[in-house]
Amino acid sequence: MNKLLEIKNLSKNYNTKLGEIKAIDNISFDVYDQEFLCIIGSSGCGKSTLLNILADLDNFSSGKIIKNKNLKIGYMLQDDCLLPWLNILDNALLGLDIMNLKTKENINYVKGLLKKYGLEEFLEKYPNQLSGGMRQRVALIRTLAIKPDILLLDEPFSALDYMSRLVVSEDVANIIKQEKKTVIMITHDIAEALSLADRIIVLSKRPAVIKNIYNINLEGNSPLSRRKAKNFAYYYDLLWKDLDKNV
């Protein structure tokens, strides 16, 4: 399998007024082309810090990140972050606009994605006229617009209610598979990670170290069907025991 990213002995300390806070401690893992990698860990353990570093939004204290210099990384945050005063098409084009890449070809690519994923009738509508699930789809398409090789998703469903999360997971998994993307997704929801991931990395409480990396083999070709797989409970139990609890 083709390696897209190698993270070697990565550590990160924050310097604060109260002294140094060690957030990440000597983490190493690889990311392979077209895999769905989930990272789970308790709240405050250093998950977002890790994604911010991978997205080049934050620096790190020591270690190495090895990647092809042409590798494009797309980042989708917790909230859908759609701008209420822009219509759906302009929201989906926002990333391209900011990067000065709003070419005719790219605009057509985004329109094509919106059409393909059931948003054709909503191009002129505004975010508050869409359901939470549809907004999430627009946010994902906006991230896909720059044609990233790797998508970083930081708890992408946490703002949604339980039912919507299940529906949106189906949507997102389907889009990611069809567009053949590589994903690193953070969540603290074990079942959600199991329903989506090819591999799961379990982080300890802060400072985050890797406790285990699991290959997940669950029958089913969608998140909902994977939740019904025979060995789902087996993996759930394994991860639950591994996870440091913040209580």
128 DSSP 8-state letter: G
Does residue 129 contact residue 87 with C-beta atoms inside 8 Å? no
Q: Does 44 bind ligand ADP (CB under 6 A)?
A: yes
Q: Does 61 bind Mg ion (CB under 5 A)?
A: no
Residue whose CB is less far from ligand ADP, 93 or 239? 239
Q: Please give the distance of CA 241 from its chain centroid, rounded to a whole number.
A: 24
Tokens representing 103 are: 């070419």
**β strands within the chain, DSSP E:** 3-16, 19-32, 36-40, 62-67, 73-76, 150-154, 182-187, 199-203, 210-215
Q: Does 14 bind ligand ADP (CB under 6 A)?
A: yes
Report how far residue 34's alpha carbon sits from residue 55's, in angstroms, rounded to the nearest whole number: 18
Residue whose CB is less far from Mg ion, 137 or 206? 206
Out of ligand ADP, Mg ion, none, what residue 49 binds, judged by CB under 5 to 8 A for its kind, is ligand ADP
Q: Does 21 bind ligand ADP (CB under 6 A)?
A: yes
Residue whose CB is less far from Mg ion, 48 or 61? 48
Q: Report, in Å, the least distance between residue 22 CB and ligand ADP.
A: 9
Q: Does 231 bind ligand ADP (CB under 6 A)?
A: no
Q: Does 206 bind ligand ADP (CB under 6 A)?
A: yes
Would strands 36-40 and 62-67 be described as parallel, antiparallel, or unpaired? unpaired
Q: Report, in Å, the least distance between residue 48 CB and ligand ADP.
A: 3
Q: Does 156 bind ligand ADP (CB under 6 A)?
A: no
Does residue 11 contact residue 162 with C-beta atoms inside 8 Å? no
In what order do the strands lie in the sheet containing 19-32? 19-32, 3-16, 62-67
Q: Does 53 bind ligand ADP (CB under 6 A)?
A: no
| Identity at 106, one-letter amino acid code | N
Identify the residue among 11, 26, 34, 48 touching Mg ion (CB under 5 A): 48
List interacting residues with ligand ADP (CB under 6 A). Answer: 14, 16, 21, 23, 41, 43-49, 206
List interacting residues with Mg ion (CB under 5 A). Answer: 48
